[in-house]
Amino acid sequence: MKTWDILKLGLVLMVYAAVACVGLAFVYAGTEKTIEQRERADQEAALKELFPHAERFEEIPGTIVSPDNTVSFESQWEARQGSTIIGVALQAVGGSYGGSIEILVGVNADGTISRIKIMSHSDTPGLGANAAKKGYFVNKEKRITFYDQFDGKPVSDPFEPKNDVIAITAATITSRAVSTAVKVAGTAAEQWLAEQGAGI
């Protein structure tokens, strides 16, 4: 192949690559706003699950610091009813069996867990993944899922699997990871709420 043919082929490929990049940029620009809106709507829906009576949520980034270096807080929100803070939601991330586990933890102003929602995990299907499964009951008689058992639980409780937390069968690491993240988030949120004069 002659030098000119190689250069011509290179120029053609370069033009195709440039056109593809421009096309992708247009697609991204066209969908970016829609993706952001959907993410905000999903986030609002998740927060509403934790605090159904809240009128609004205000983000308070970096305000609450994790007291445990194994758990980080990615995002934080006040839940408000009028001018009153009724609770705090923390997006807690900790290590679990299959990698990181991300949990949205709601803490009421009275020092109890309002609710938790497992947002993402990489744990084993049929075992640790049961932490987020709607059809997996740790108490079949009362139809309580693993995450339901945290509803209304005082932050002062130990949060220890096989003690005051019903563990997932054959998934002690996941059970401990969730319990630890919820306990850490609850403790930090309760302290912050007390500093704001919220609570009873």
Domain boundaries, the chain: 1-50, 56-195
| pLDDT tens digits, one per residue of 29-54 | 667 667 677 777 888 899 999 999 99
Percent of the chain with pLDDT over 90: 66
> Residue 60 pLDDT > 90, yes or no?
yes
| pLDDT tens digits, one per residue of 76-124 | 999 999 999 999 999 999 999 989 999 999 999 999 999 999 999 988 8
Q: What is the pLDDT of residue 42?
A: 82
**For residues 126-132, average pLDDT:** 86
Q: What is the pLDDT of residue 120?
A: 92
Q: What is the pLDDT of residue 199?
A: 63
| pLDDT tens digits, one per residue of 134-179 | 999 999 999 999 999 999 999 999 999 999 999 998 889 999 999 9
By CB atoms closer than 10 A (0-12, 13-18, 19+), residue 72 is middle
Q: What is the pLDDT of residue 4?
A: 67
pTM assigned to the model: 0.81
Identify whether the C-beta of residue 81 lies closer than 8 Å to the C-beta of residue 54.
yes
Take residue 121 and report the two structure tokens written for it: 């995990």
> Residue 1 pLDDT > 70, yes or no?
no
Q: How confident is the model at residue 180 (pLDDT cuts 50, 70, 90)?
A: very high
> Residue 64 pLDDT > 90, yes or no?
yes
User: What SS3 string covers the chain?
Assistant: CCHHHHHHHHHHHHHHHHHHHHHHHHHHHHHHHHHHHHHHHHHHHHHHHHCCCCCEEEECCCCCCCCCCCEEEEEEEEEEECCEEEEEEEEEEEEECCEEEEEEEEEECCCEEEEEEEEECCCCCCCHHHHHCCCCEEECCCCEECCHHHCCCECCCCCCECCCECCCCCCHHHHHHHHHHHHHHHHHHHHHHHHCCCCC
Q: What is the pLDDT of residue 198?
A: 80
Q: What is the pLDDT of residue 200?
A: 54
Q: What is the pLDDT of residue 32?
A: 66
